[in-house]
Amino acid sequence: MTSLQSEIEKRGRRIFELVDKYPDSLFSKAGFYQRLMTLSMRDEQLKLQLFRFVAVLPSLHTSGEIIAHLREYFADGHDSRKLSEFLEAGVRLAGLAPWISGPMLRWNVSEMARQFIAGRNPNDVMRTLRKRRSQKIGFTVDLLGEAVVGETEADEYAARYLDLLEGLARETRDWVDPLGTNSDLFPVVNVSVKISALYSQISPDNPAGTIANLAPKLRALLRRARELGVFINVDMESYAHKNVTLELFKTIFTEEEFKSWPHAGIVIQAYLRDSEADLRDLLEWGGRRGTRFGVRLVKGAYWDYETTKSRQNGWDCPVYLQKPESDANFETLTRLLLENESVVTSAFGSHNVRSIAHAQTFAEELGVDRSRFEFQLLYGMAGPIKRALVEMGYRVREYCPVGELLPGMSYLVRRLLENTSNEGFLRAKFSENIPAEDLLRDPCEVLRGSRNGVRPPSSAATNMTTTTPQTHSGVPYKNASLTNFALPENQEKMRAALREQRKQFGRKVPLTINGEKIWTDKTFSSVNPSQPDQIVGYAAEAGIPEAERAVAAARAAFEKWRRTSFEERCQLLERAAEVLERRRFELSALEVFEVGKPWAEADGDIREAIDFCTFYARQMRLIGQPRLTQNVPGEESYRHYWPRGVALVIAPWNFPMAILCGMVSAALVTGNTVIMKPSEQSVIIGAMLMEIYEEAGVPPGVLNFLNGKGSVIGAHMVDHKDVDLIAFTGSREVGLSIWESAGKTREGQRELKRVICEMGGKNAMIVDSDADLDEAIVDSIYSAFGFQGQKCSALSRLIVLEENYDRVVERLLAAAASVRVGNPEEPGIVVGPVIDEAAYRRILDYVEAGKSEATLAYQAKDIPPHGYFIPPTIFTGVKPNMRIAREEIFGPVLSVLKVRDLDEAIEVANGTDYALTGGFFSRSPANIERIKAQLEAGNVYINRPCTGAIVGRHPFGGFKMSGSGTKAGGEDYLLNFLIPRVVTENVASHGLTPEKTPEYRDEFLWPKQ
Ligand SMILES: Cc1cc2nc3c(=O)[nH]c(=O)nc-3n(C[C@H](O)[C@H](O)[C@H](O)COP(=O)(O)OP(=O)(O)OC[C@H]3O[C@@H](n4cnc5c(N)ncnc54)[C@H](O)[C@@H]3O)c2cc1C
């Protein structure tokens, strides 16, 4: 053992000796909190339910509601004996006297919260701070609050922070530093600030814009803090906010005004893989700045969130996956901080005795006096460790959150999770009594052990296995990743692509028929809806003669293409996916200009196109081989599929690459030949898809690209006797006319035409009385206004239960007022222009209609003067029979409807012609089950936005007047493009019956290739 390790162990043991003198009451066996902890640690599933129940409790208004939720959460699936152990009187009394048990539970939960929340308000917290003062423990105060969804809330928050500074400074005027040495480094009053509380529109893809908005708010706070002699610490939140937080900190503290002020600090999270690079960068910056600054080193509080989020988006996981990796990195960063003590004042934020002992030992080795750094621990956690550290003469500061129970709930749940985590130090020490020797092991050694085959004590790796359904034998389907615009390199790539696309303005694209490029006399111009005088490109326009040629070319190419093996066709799609991936930024940038998509929306569209190609290729491989229907001796009967023939694909502009590519790829991979007609408004993107398929090697005639007026060439081809299948996505009006025309059989027609028809929606989201409003508001705003409300899945009717109505509307309007509207070429824009002048006028007509029918509750004012910008608009007092509640608007207009109860909410939600998407925000398991069963929508989303379907994960499509019931990106989608066929052979003649018939056989292809 190295001398450093033995010194760490010695110190660790000393801390444990002191700790064991004062057992931690939090981990004793008595009381409500302790029972909750004990049960949670025994059963993971029960833990989830318990914590969910705790989280919803403060928003329940009556005793009856509390009891109803209690029953719903714990009615079945769990050991009721275990549960009543926890609830004791609660559950048993519930049956007899709900008015007693409801308040009792609430009281228990608020008492539990008080163990972690130091006070309800700044006055209340003073009692705690005084007590700690007598124990020689300092403080940093943090203001808890609901998620800030709008700028009014952010301003209120900033004002509360200012009050807090004033109050704390006043109340502690005569307090002195508990250690008395180096007190200039550690002002008595220390306040922790979260940037997400100061600004509601933080956009990781736009650090400069975010900082421009945040800096003035932070400066105001800092000025007052400096006057009052207060230390300000900027907390670190999720990874998406990390770069902005670091940049903001460096920007402000490089400014002349704050350059020489040493009393500001920031947090570094050791669980992040890039934390060492960030810390080195900060230290270098600090050196250049020439004034001390503070760093609080923690491991990080959002581990579960970061791992889930990165898995959902297909991103590299930013956090370490094994707990000892975080521990080891914490030690590396500890050393780095202490080695740079001349620049940085360190605070080690940990309850882990090993991490603490390591910091002590290393400081000693470097000769850094113990009064020049501090240990910080959370209020309500690890009390004995704090006492031990004080006794050893170290500087200790407690992180004291202040606030009411409801806004403090997410903080409370984080603490409960931390205390019950399998990986956590506190549980290991105080609940599981793991021996000191194990707790003090060198994390690097634990890791080396794991690399030699012994697993570290981590369940993380097993949690990381993917659950995506398998679409190809043995190979899990993996969606393409979204671009993470929080990373500066991706921001730069996007900016470069936008510059490049600008240079290409005015490009000309031809038709492609039978592999030939065809120019016609007429051209269409496609304009930038943000600046309609900018022409993104010109496209040759097809008339009837070109449509005829395209149909003939597709028909002629069909015979060969249908006999091409499905494997070859799958590979074509996979090559197209590769080209899409390679040209990703270029195509996203083109979408920004041609259809006004914000960055992330454009990227999502290209990602979806890639997914369609890879998903359909895998699906085709699953159904491509003829498959035995039944195993019967003497007979071989194989079902397989033939393509239908010539497919006409008519696509809209709102997902200009994804929907076009999805329908085209499904048609091609199933062996149909295709005429693709993109929307007139997104024709340049359509031409790019043609280029991509050509690069991927599509044979001439198999895919033909026609641009032209839907009413002319579209209608002509729908009626054409040689067109066998129409895949359409677009408006109800056009969809229904296609459906009808395709039903007529023309002379010479071989097949009954198949129509795949996806139309619009009038999508509703219901907000239950117990909904988590932080989520409901943010997700509703995004669902209604993201991409200007021009998604067929967009939210258009928000149905709110009357109990919650006033609070929901108040927060909704405030949140809407903070949404960024502008030219989407700029990052961070949520609402850009609508697609063209016709849409602009139509939507404004609806706004006028809304004004006469309902109450105009909100309309954005600050919108660009040119371009097709419609201000986000919210109507309240909307009734189900009003036009704005019935007709599809396809723009940023939201109707809010008030209902009595869930019965009425469901009736209103289902009371439209459409059934595309629908959503529900609730924390009542019973109500959620009911919605799952009763909401009429092809895609039902619970407690999340109602837009953003992902291929394979959320097969997408509706019914009623929203569509014919097909599901793009679903396992059965390709069957719409195919004709099933069964070939049966008697193989029993003369009693020569084969013993075994294979389940699959080769394709029926002739001549064989
Ligand atoms: C004063 C103070 C201020 C804080 N401020 C912040 C802040 O601004 N931002 C913030 O994010 N957190 C902050 N925290 C919270 C802090 O991150 C957690 O309390 C801390 O991570 C718990 O670590 P520990 O050393 O006490 O316990 P330990 O039990 O040693 O470590 C637990 C931590 O290990 C990490 N971990 C758990 N499982 C794994 C795994 N499988 N693989 C890799 N790593 C894993 C997680 O970070 C987890 O929190 C603060 C904590 C304190 C005490």
* Strand runs labelled E in 802-880: 855-859, 873-876
Bridge partners, residue 675, by sequence: 648, 704
Indicate the residue type of 680: E
Instruction: Say yes or no: CB of residue 955 within 6 Å of ligand 1.
Output: no
Cα 619–chain centre separation: 27
- Is 453 a residue whose pLDDT tops 80? no
Helices (H), 456-516: 460-463, 488-503
Ligand 1 contact, 378 CB (< 6 A): yes
The answer to whether the CB of 615 is under 6 A from ligand 1 is no
Q: Which of 299, 307, 332 to mutate to test the pocket of ligand 1 (most atoms within 8 A of CB)?
A: 299
CA of 327 to the centre of ligand 1 (A): 10
Ligand 1 contact, 818 CB (< 6 A): no
Eight-state DSSP code of residue 319? B
Residues 974, 670: contact at Cβ < 8 Å? yes
Ligand 1 near 271 CB (within 6 A): yes
Lowest mean pLDDT among 188-192, 333-337, 405-409, 726-730: 405-409
Distance 299 CA to ligand 1 centre (A): 4
pLDDT of residue 474: 61
Q: Which helix (H) or strand (E) holds 611?
A: helix 599-623
98-114 and 89-96 are packed helices; what angle lies between their axes, rounded to 10 degrees?
Answer: 150
Q: Which residue's CA is the nearest one to ligand 1's atom 3? A: 349
Given a contact cutoff of 8 angstroms between Cβ atoms, the answer to whether 952 and 610 are in contact is no
The answer to whether 200 and 154 are in contact (CB under 8 A) is yes
For residue 420, the model assigns a pLDDT of 86
Q: CA dist 416 to 37, 301, 412, 574, 836, Å?
A: 8, 12, 6, 46, 51
Q: How far is the CA of 997 from the centre of ligand 1 (A)?
A: 59
Would you say residue 893 has pLDDT above 90?
A: yes
What is the predicted pLDDT for the residue at 208?
A: 94
Q: What is the chain's mean pLDDT, rounded?
A: 92
> Residue 724: pLDDT above 60?
yes
Q: Which two tokens stand for residue 591?
A: 């979408």
CA 153, CA 593: separation in Å to the nearest integer?
Answer: 34
Q: How many CB atoms lie within 10 A of CB 1007?
A: 5
Q: How confident is the model at residue 452 (pLDDT cuts 50, 70, 90)?
A: low
pLDDT the model gives residue 514? 98
- Whether 900 shows a pLDDT value over 80: the answer reads yes
339 Cα to the center of ligand 1, angstroms: 23
Band the pLDDT of 87: cuts 50, 70, 90: low
CA distance 330 to 425: 14
Alpha carbon of 125 to those of 139, 142, 160: distances in Å? 11, 11, 14
CB 870 within 8 Å of CB 891: yes
pLDDT at 77 over 70: no
Which atom, in ligand 1's list, is nearest to the CA of 426? 29
What SS3 state is found at 677? strand
pLDDT value of position 577: 98
Query: Alpha-carbon torsion 640, 644, 646, 650, what sign?
Result: negative
298 lines ligand 1 (CB under 6 A): yes
Answer yes or no: is the C-beta of 419 below 6 A from any ligand 1 atom.
no
Q: Which residues pair with 917 in a beta bridge?
A: 939
Protein residue with least CA distance to atom 33, ligand 1: 299
Q: Which atom of ligand 1 is nearest to the CA of 320?
A: 43
Q: Which residues pair with 725 in a beta bridge?
A: 647, 754
Angle, helices 98-114/405-420, rounded to nearest 10 degrees: 70
Q: How many whole angstroms from 216 Cα to the centroid of ligand 1?
A: 30
Tell the residue number behind the tokens 């200012």, with chain if given.
162
Which pLDDT does position 370 carry in this prediction? 96
Instruction: Confirm or reject: Cβ of 334 under 6 Å from ligand 1.
Output: no
Ligand 1: atom nearest CA of 302 is 11
Which residues form the catalytic set?
758, 792
Centroid of ligand 1 to alpha carbon of 349 (angstroms): 8
User: How many Cβ atoms are within 10 Å of 17's Cβ, its own excluded?
Assistant: 11
Compute and round to an integer the Cα radius of gyration of the chain: 32
Q: What are the structure tokens assigned to 905, written together?
A: 């909410």
Ligand 1 atom at shortest distance from the alpha carbon of 458: 41
Give yes or no for residue 382 CB within 6 A of ligand 1.
Answer: no
* Residue 682 clears pLDDT 70, i.e. is over it: yes
Type of residue numbered 607: R
> In the block, which residue shows the tokens 């294979």?
998
Residue 468 pLDDT class (50, 70, 90 cuts): very low
Question: How far apart (Å, rounded) are the C-alpha atoms in residues 376 and 386?
Answer: 9
352 lines ligand 1 (CB under 6 A): yes
How many angstroms does the Cα of residue 121 sit away from the middle of ligand 1? 26
- Sheet strands (E) in 302-453: 344-349, 374-378, 396-402
Which of 239, 298, 332 gets mutated to test ligand 1 (max ligand atoms within 8 A of its CB)?
A: 298
CB of 375 sitting under 6 A from ligand 1: no
Residue nearest to atom 15 of ligand 1 (CA): 301
pLDDT at 449: 82
pLDDT over threshold 90, residue 415: no
How far is the centre of ligand 1, averaged over its atoms, from the C-alpha of 281 (Å)? 22
Higher pLDDT among residues 422 and 30, named by residue:
422
- The Cα–Cα gap between 827 and 212 comes to 13
Report the percentage of the chain scoring pLDDT > 70: 94
Per residue in 924-950, pLDDT (tens digit) is: 999 999 999 999 999 999 999 999 999
Contacts of 339 (CB under 8 A, 6+ apart): 366
Bridge pairing between strands 627-628 and 978-986: unpaired
233 lines ligand 1 (CB under 6 A): no
Higher pLDDT, 149 or 700: 700
Residue 683's nearest CA partner among 558, 493, 927, 507 is: 507
Is the pLDDT reported for residue 29 higher than 70? no
Q: Mean pLDDT across the stretch 475-488? A: 93
What's the gap in Å between 279 CA and the centre of ligand 1? Answer: 17
Whether 267 lines ligand 1, by a CB cut-off of 6 Å, is yes
Hey, whose CA ends up nearest to atom 24 of ligand 1?
A: 350
In angstroms, how far apart are the furthest CA atoms of the chain? 109
| Ligand 1 mean position, distance from CA 589 (Å) | 39
Specify the pLDDT at position 464. Answer: 35
Tokens of 201: 């529109």
Residue nearest to atom 17 of ligand 1 (CA): 300
**Helices 89-96 & 80-87 angle (0-180, nearest 10):** 90
Q: 283: which strand partners?
A: none
Residue 307 one-letter amino acid? T
Using CA atoms, how far apart are residues 374 and 398, in angstroms rounded to an integer?
10
Q: What integer pLDDT is reported at residue 30 of this predicted model? A: 58
The ligand 1 atom at the shortest distance from the C-alpha of residue 354 is 30
Separation CA 719–CA 680 (nearest Å): 20
Q: What is the pLDDT of residues 217-227, one digit of tens each?
A: 999 999 999 99
Taking residue 407's Cβ as centre, other Cβ atoms within 10 Å add up to 17
Of 23, 21, 78, nearest to 52 by C-alpha is 78
Mean pLDDT on 263-279: 98
Q: Is the CB of 425 under 6 A from ligand 1?
A: yes
- From the CA of 298, give the closest atom in ligand 1: 17
Reading the block at residue 197, the tokens are 């509380």
